Structure 1
């Protein structure tokens, strides 16, 4: 049986599917199955699994730290197997870059963040003015972002760093003042809005993620003129830099639609009979709004407001690992620093 979490759960609730004789459980694109939208459904499906030992596998190109922790709820002491073209090992940090239009770099950043949907990210800029600009762009778009520069008063700097330590700040935009000595636990993404002027600074910036053996991804946005800087960095430090295609508006719309549909379907299943009956008052109105092109903007507004609200909700925290005996047959996936996004196509290496 192959299906999405929502459809599998629907059949389980309707008793048209039984997992009594299940022998193998496979999570494909596991980083997405255990991320926003799908996680609640996965926990409900877990209640229908047999109590006996199962051969369970999770597959994904890479894994962000919070998903690795959450995976322990489904696989007890699973083994990590990392596969690449010519060797087997765990890669702590992926190094990738996007070639972006110089006049559209801010919008490109937003599209990348929308696709990646990182639990947290440190965004580097070369100047204080750029830090303030990027931070403002993110805030205006509805993201929880703050800035850190050497000009920031000590009181404000302490406030920002306290939010970082408590993991209540999602995006920190900073100059290279944050490239050394700042330790952010479980930081999944480092994004360089522009390449550093000093080649060595690239290493310090990227080193903020993938710490203590944890997975991470270091991204750099470059214009066509700036690509030669990455060539020098890749050659000097023997870094395998991969080029990922820049997401389009259509890519973002597809991913966002998938997420919000999963969230809404899960919410619908949680409604009791009284709420379901009450909501029937609006079926006719909903159909009317959807059929009218002018009024469809109302539906789009409601979906956007709901998505923004859920997007910034705290990520579900994994429960304590089970003390049940280890399942030797269980395996965890290829690891790295994945995101809740489709795998990029046509990667180019440097």
Structure 2
């Protein structure tokens, strides 16, 4: 097996792929060194063929044809393929051969970033597993617990869920993962961008030592490779790219916007892309100061770097970037030359460079040391023509990116904020939950629809709802400065070798509160994260009540004063 996922497998020309790989004519495929031959639908076991027939599949998708042999062989594997390419069928079909219908306990856990994807996977699994005795249950946040708890008590073999709600059920003792044989991360890059990493690490404590793990992601930047290293042992890498970035490549995108809308477009892109860290390049020091001021006004951890700064000031700014305390650096070409920032995920060009060579210099700040990276250029109509000339000159594949809408931004920010609120509520002690419950009625009143006030325009929000939105925005602003996916700013570790996370249950004796990632919160914003009213919530687990006795003096966890810590999540 390869030593690590960052070691790129050999490129396999599409023409050399087995005949079974229909649709691979325009797909670039990278397979492991010890690759397995692909399969066609007719090569599968009868039970798997019957499942495909139930789903109406006439043939296998390319990613299914190539990945199924590894999954059926029980090899840990990371699969890179675009969204909608058939990855769900990849990991569901092998479950028919690996799971036991007679054992009424969860044997496979699929973690997904959103409730919509959880429901989609549940529907596809129900079709594939129909009549086999294998049942599936989707568990996700934003709804009550009763229906999910009833399904878990009845006994299901496959759990599809968002990390936050899965952790909730584990803490309530309504879910036992002791029999899990297969762990799947679907759209791992999206899960990490939302902030689910602490929850995923917490869930790992409940998993058996021996299991088969597979990871699916559209891209493999450093934070995804880090996740693989902590959950998998010497995984194989299978990559399918249809004119898209895959491992250790830089994706070149451009977004066409009006000149006066560039600042708003940049903010929207930062919200939807949620970079771990980024440089925003401008052509003039005036634009550097303007853009840095805009980002700071929105609450981002940002600062400018240009030729008019003193050398000591430049060094101070760069040191903050290297230490991970500054998420966004706005810079000119002159000031940014020679910068080497580890794990830089994104480069934004607020305007195209004045010469062709500068584009390569700017883009080269990301995708270093074999990591993936993304370069996004903001251009108007005339600048787009210049950018396309640069792309032709260097034979760069440019892809147009639609400008995010306000609805896109709201959805992305809300998903991340929900992970924070639910994680904070999970971290409360019994007394703290009682304190929060005092505001449940107020939160309900604020969220209740009201009659329009005299002179209020149609569609305009009422004052009470805006008060609640203000509290949520305050929580969002509090978390903006913690943009990294992981608490440390070092490079992603190699995924080869046995991961430290395989300790499994061995770490439970130390208690699960040690990795808790949120400090207590109170007020209507926290109450809004509950499932209706406080009466609907169960009391904290017995262990948590015992441990809370030592904090009467006001100390936080681990004996330190309570303070905010990196994001944990729930969906």
Normalising by the smaller structure, the TM-score range is 0.7 to 0.9
Shift of 1:168: 1.9
SS where residue 275 of structure 2 aligns? Answer: coil
Instruction: Provide closer, same or farther for how the CA distance between residues 90 and 136 of structure 1 changes in structure 2, counting only shifts above 3 A.
Output: same
Instruction: Provide closer, same or farther for how the CA distance between residues 191 and 86 of structure 1 changes in structure 2, counting only shifts above 3 A.
Output: closer
Task: Tell me how far apart the structure 2 counterparts of residues 87 and 116 of structure 1 sit (CA, whole Å).
Answer: 16
Q: Is 1:239 matched up with 2:360?
A: no
TM-score when scaled to structure 1? 0.86
Moved more, 21-30 or 163-172: 163-172
Q: Give matches, 1:90-109, under 5 Å.
A: 90-109=247-266
Query: Which consecutive residues of structure 2, in runs of 5 or more, have no partner in the other structure?
Result: 1-158, 451-461, 501-571
Task: Tell me how far apart the structure 1 counterparts of residues 305 and 418 of structure 2 sit (CA, whole Å).
Answer: 36
Moved more, 29-38 or 259-268: 29-38
SS where residue 213 of structure 2 aligns? Answer: strand
Aligned to 1:163: 320
Instruction: Provide closer, same or farther for how the CA distance between residues 96 and 322 of structure 1 changes in structure 2, counting only shifts above 3 A.
Output: closer
Task: Tell me how far apart the structure 1 counterparts of residues 464 and 244 of structure 2 sit (CA, whole Å).
Answer: 55
Residue from 7, 13, 25 that aligns with 2:183? 25
Query: Which consecutive residues of structure 1, in runs of 5 or more, have no partner in the other structure?
Result: 328-350
Aligned to 2:369: 212
Aligned length: 326
CA displacement, residues 175-227 of structure 1 (integer Å, 9 cap, x when unaligned)? 11145322112111111001111011111110011111111111101112211
Task: Tell me how far apart the structure 2 counterparts of residues 322 and 31 of structure 1 sit (CA, whole Å).
Answer: 16
Instruction: Provide closer, same or farther for how the CA distance between residues 184 and 86 of structure 1 changes in structure 2, counting only shifts above 3 A.
Output: closer
Shift of 1:324: 7.0
Aligned to 1:272: 429
SS where residue 18 of structure 1 aligns? Answer: coil
Q: Is 1:297 matched up with 2:466?
A: yes
Contact kept in structure 2, 1:70 and 1:317, CA below 8 Å? no
- For the pair shown, the structure with the greater C-alpha radius of gyration is 2
Task: Tell me how far apart the structure 1 counterparts of residues 255 and 310 of structure 2 sit (CA, whole Å).
Answer: 34
Instruction: Provide closer, same or farther for how the CA distance between residues 249 and 208 of structure 1 changes in structure 2, counting only shifts above 3 A.
Output: same
TM-score when scaled to structure 2? 0.54
SS where residue 227 of structure 1 aligns? Answer: helix
User: Which one has more relative contact order, counting CA pairs under 8 Å at least 6 apart?
Assistant: 1
Shift of 1:167: 2.6
Compute the RMSD of aligned alpha carbons.
2.4
Moved more, 301-310 or 86-95: 86-95
Instruction: Provide closer, same or farther for how the CA distance between residues 88 and 258 of structure 1 changes in structure 2, counting only shifts above 3 A.
Output: closer
Aligned to 1:347: none
Aligned to 1:192: 349
SS where residue 19 of structure 1 aligns? Answer: coil
Aligned to 2:412: 255
